[in-house]
């Protein structure tokens, strides 16, 4: 038997990854450095997830052992407010088409990546998985949240309808890290802060604006940790619930994030609060009981995660 054949037999299987060019997708590919999985991450030109027939044909042709759905139309508050139709319809189409394609092609395992936006805006924190659909959503990203809820529910319905299928949804807290988007029009909080403070240093600007009073609380996890969680769940698939939060188990105020990022990038100026700007939910802290029970914990703390992200940003900007 040749060495090539031996290596092939040692593989865990063929993994079809959607959204391979996005931040989460690229971190998943990078995490698989030992090539324990054969990862197939088609571009949007190779696999148009908005086309249901083409998606089914593609999944049938490659016959993956597992699908990870990480594709999505993503962005911060500004982007969600500006294009609510696109955030609802595009993400709904992407989720529905890949999940149904997997089901009709006979792929028994699928990991769907949800979002903490799925939780009601007024739910008591920490947010446990059974709180989804228990109240009104945050208006600034409602369309995105509805699409994510629909995809998660579709996975659960397939499991109920046919016990041979195990379609599961991971609900991560806010994610940041290498391969992130730093454009303020499309970025989330931490990459946006990194960009704003870095540019303020370059421009010798002594004041940076913070939306709202800065007291809203957020939970952020380094993208490399999410990749670790995904592959951990694949290795413990039978024990993984069909809906499970992935988070740090702690949060900080927006003011604290500005202070912590400022210390890392070297910004020594002042901050001012713009009370006319939207801030979203006052708190989004996930319950991590299920992830702790299954034996997974994040490894990268906020300081080291932001430091790595800033190092990536400075290269990205050059």
Which residues are identified as catalytic? 144
Q: How far apart (Å, rounded) are the C-alpha atoms in residues 245 and 65?
A: 24
Largest CA distance in the chain: 69
Instruction: Give the distance, in angstroms, between the CA of residue 189 and the centroid of all CA atoms in the same chain.
Output: 14
Q: Which residue has the tokens 């694949």?
A: 234
- What sections of 17-141 are H helices per DSSP? 23-31, 52-62, 77-82, 84-104
Residue found by looking up tokens 């508050």 in the block: 77
CB 59 within 8 A of CB 67: yes
**Angstrom distance (rounded) from CA 176 to CA 192:** 10
- What string of H, E and C letters represents the secondary structure of 236-302? CHHHCCCEEEECCCCCEEHHHHHHHHHHHHCCCCEEEEECCCCCCCCEECECCHHHHHHCCCCCCCH
The residue behind tokens 């927006």 is 254
Place of tokens 């002042």: 270
CA 1 and chain centroid, separation = 41
Instruction: State CA 315 to chain mean position distance.
Output: 23
Main-chain phi, psi angles of 112, to 5 degrees: -100, 135
**Complete edge-to-edge strand list for the sheet that includes strand 252-253:** 252-253, 217-218, 283-284
Tokens standing for 160?
Answer: 């109920």
Structure tokens at 3: 């060495």
């Amino acid at each position: 038997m040749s060495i090539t054949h031996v290596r092939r037999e040692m593989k865990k299987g063929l993994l079809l990854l959607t959204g391979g060019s996005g931040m989460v997708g690229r971190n998943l590919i990078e995490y698989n450095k030992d090539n324990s999985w054969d990862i197939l991450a088609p571009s949007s030109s190779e696999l148009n997830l908005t086309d249901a027939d083409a998606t089914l044909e593609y999944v049938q042709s490659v016959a993956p052992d597992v699908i990870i759905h990480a594709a999505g139309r993503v962005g911060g508050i500004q982007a969600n407010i500006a294009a609510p139709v696109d955030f609802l319809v595009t993400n709904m189409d992407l989720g529905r088409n890949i999940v149904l394609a997997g089901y009709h092609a006979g792929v028994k395992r699928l990991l769907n990546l949800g979002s903490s936006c799925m939780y009601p805006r007024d739910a008591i924190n920490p947010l446990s998985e059974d709180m989804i659909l228990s109240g009104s959503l945050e208006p600034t990203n409602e369309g995105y949240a509805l699409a994510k809820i629909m995809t998660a529910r579709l996975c659960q319905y397939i499991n109920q309808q046919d016990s041979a299928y195990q379609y599961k949804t991971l609900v991560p807290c806010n994610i940041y890290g290498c391969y992130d988007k730093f454009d303020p029009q499309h970025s989330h909080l931490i990459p946006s802060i990194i960009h704003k403070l870095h540019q303020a240093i370059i421009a010798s600007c002594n004041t940076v604006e913070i939306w709202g009073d800065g007291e809203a609380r957020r939970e952020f996890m380094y993208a490399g940790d999410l990749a670790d969680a995904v592959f951990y769940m694949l290795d413990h698939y039978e024990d993984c619930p069909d809906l499970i939060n992935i988070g740090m188990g702690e949060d900080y105020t927006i003011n604290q994030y500005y202070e912590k990022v400022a210390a890392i990038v070297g910004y020594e100026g002042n901050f001012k609060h713009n009370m006319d700007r939207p801030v979203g939910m006052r708190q989004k802290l996930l319950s991590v009981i299920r992830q702790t029970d299954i034996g997974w914990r994040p490894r990268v703390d906020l300081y080291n995660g932001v430091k790595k992200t800033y190092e990536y940003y400075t290269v990205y900007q050059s």
